[in-house]
A = this chain, B = another copy of it.
Amino acid sequence: MTTAAHAAHAAAPAAAAAAVHEVTCSAPVNIAVIKYWGKRDTALVLPTNSSLSVTLSQDHLRSTTTVRCVAADEAGDRLWLNGKEESIAASKRLRNVLADARRLRRAAEAADPALPALAELPLRICSVNNFPTAAGLASSASGFACLTYALHTLYSLPLSVSEASRLARVGSGSACRSLFGGFVAWEMGQRDDGADSMAVQVASETHWPDMEALILVVSDARKDTGSTEGMQQTVETSTLLRERIASVVPRRMRQMTAAIHARDFDSFAELTMADSNQFHAVCLDTYPPIFYMNDISRAIIRLVTAYNRLFIKPVAAADAAGDSAPAATSRGYRAAYTYDAGPNAVLYLPREHVTEVLGLVNHFFPPPAAADHAEYFGRAASAFLPAVDPAKVAALAAQIGFAPFPAGSLQRIISTHVGDGPRVLARGHVESVSLLSATGLPASLA
């Protein structure tokens, strides 16, 4: 094929697809370092406090979604999730997102009659996650971010990405933060209608390029309270949450933003760990108490704490100093843990320490005996060096007070880094990209 022919070949489907109103996008996962827990308005998904997260690379964890407008005489909206059709009627949140997007498109069409009439056309939505369900990672954030970004693109909504993040928020609160790459704040806002409750980017994915993440997937079949239900139990019964909302989080949001802007890993680590601890503390202060961490989760905390202690002088947490600026000199933190509403640990750490931390994790939490190396370690499989400094292992073992866990205490390790925001993979129907076949059914089922 000549270059000209190749170009014509590439252009032809795009031109042909122009008539097909379809968009395919991908969107990332995010893991909060200042945690969201509690709604002041459950219908609009307005939080009791602001939160801040790190967006993880779509190269390793992503949702992909195709949305298409079909002819008016087709049956109503349909949705497939990971190859299985889901009831849209059963999900009030999903219906709210679609209704919000259509309302905005309808207004745009009313203002500009030259726009194609898409708002009332039925939608076909097909979405997949590339990470295993067994990983215990919440897919609602990347999923609703992806749907929102795809609708935003399909309908050419006259909104900034921050404004569009409000649609994702209505679908799943923390989804709004996946509308941006890098470091992202969800500003809680003050308004009753939620118009000012949206995501803003604190720093892009290129700002702190050596920030890596390791997700330690903890084997645990048990489910505890779901986060939607759990956070409202905390709002209703915790007598400590109000202090967190009124005083602690506003201060930590300022401190964390400053730490990120200054690439101050010490302050970033202290705040991240303190806020993970406090999130689980208010879960425990809930009645009945909510537990998300298990003995393995806690052993990982002990390991990270002891590992950091090899390098830092003990100092009080950043909070103890109130609103003071981040310390001017490095205190030597190597890694920070954080836990969402489940037992899995997410470690944030500078790239230079990844190999050593992986080696220590692997020493104290050995892989399952029959584990496939590449599958278990993922991206880390090539970087992983099994040799760890015996002196460090001995020093840590003395501090943490536990022997290595049995093989298989972790299910897998996902190695990733800070990543970018949602991507448009195709405008119009591109067969190699679209999740929907030409007939409007999932390509995987065609």
* Contact call A284/B280, Cβ cutoff below 8 A: yes
Verify if A6 is at the interface (C-beta below 8 Å from B). no
The stretch from A97-105, A163-171, A202-210, A270-278 touching chain B is A270-278
Nearest opposing residue in chain B for A294, CB measure: B295
**Residue A92 lies at the interface, judged by CB distance under 8 Å to chain B:** no
Closest Cβ of chain B: how far from A63's Cβ, in Å? Answer: 28
Which of A46-54, A107-115, A179-187, A243-251 binds B?
A243-251
- In the complex with contacts A237-B320, A243-B243, A319-B239, A284-B281 CB distance below 8 A: yes
Once bound together, how far apart are the Cα atoms of A79 and B288, in whole Å? Answer: 45
Whether B284 pairs with A277 at a CB distance below 8 angstroms is: yes
Partner of A240, one of B244, B270, B273: B244
> Judging by beta carbons under 8 Å apart, are B281 and A285 in contact?
yes
B interface footprint on A216-240 (CB within 8 Å = 1, 0 otherwise) = 0000001110000000000011011
Contact assessment for A239 and B278 in the assembled complex, using a CB-CB cutoff below 8 Å: yes
Q: A223-B401, A295-B295, A305-B288 are in contact. Are A316 and B278 (CB under 8 A)?
A: no
A221 to chain B, nearest CB (A): 9
A287 touches which of B239, B248, B316 (Cβ 8 Å): B316
- Taking a contact as CB atoms closer than 8 A, the residue among B280, B284, B287, B301 that contacts A317 in the complex is B287
A interface residues, how many (CB within 8 angstroms): 38
**A236–B287 contact, CB under 8 A?**
no
When the two chains form their complex, are residues B277 and A222 in contact, meaning their CB atoms are under 8 A apart? Answer: no
Copies in the complex: 2
> Closest residue to A233 on the B side, CB-wise?
B316
Chain B residues lying within 8 Å of A242, measured Cβ to Cβ, are 243
User: Which of A289, A294, A295, A320 has the most C-beta atoms of chain B within 10 angstroms of its own C-beta?
Assistant: A289
* Chain B residues closer than 8 Å to A224, beta-carbon distance: 401
Nearest CB of chain B from residue A342's CB, rounded to whole Å:
14
Q: Are B237 and A316 in contact (CB under 8 A)?
A: yes
A45 at interface, CB cutoff 8 A = no
**Contact assessment for A243 and B239 in the assembled complex, using a CB-CB cutoff below 8 Å:** yes
Q: Which of A6-38 contact B (CB under 8 A)?
A: none
For residue A286, CB closer than 8 A to chain B, the reply is: yes
Contacts A236-B316, A240-B244, A243-B240 given; indicate if A285 touches B295 (C-beta within 8 A). Answer: no
> Is A281 a contact of B401 with CB atoms below 8 Å?
no
What residue in chain B is nearest A317 (Cβ atoms)? B287
Q: For residue A280, which residues in chain B have a CB less than 8 angstroms away from its CB? A: 284
Cβ of A44 < 8 Å from any Cβ of B? no
Interface residue from B273, B281, B301, B402 paired with A281 (Cβ < 8 Å) = B281
A298 contacts B by Cβ under 8 Å: yes
A282 within 8 A of B: yes
Question: Is A376 part of the binding interface, using a Cβ–Cβ cutoff of 8 Å?
Answer: no
Contact A237 B319 (CB under 8 A): yes
Q: Chain B nearest CB: distance from A339 CB in Å?
A: 11
Is A384 close to B, CB under 8 A?
no
A405 adjacent to chain B (CB < 8 Å): no
Q: Which residues of B contact A317 (CB under 8 A)?
A: 237, 287
Residues of chain A at the chain B interface (Cβ within 8 Å): 222-224, 236-237, 239-240, 242-244, 247-248, 270, 273-274, 277-278, 280-282, 284-289, 291, 294-295, 298, 301, 305, 316-317, 319-320, 401-402
Known: A222-B402, A236-B320, A239-B247. 6 other contacts (CB 8 A): A224-B401, A236-B316, A239-B274, A240-B285, A288-B301, A291-B298
Across the A-B interface, give the 4 residue pairs with the lowest CB-CB distance, nearest first: A243-B243, A287-B317, A281-B285, A281-B281
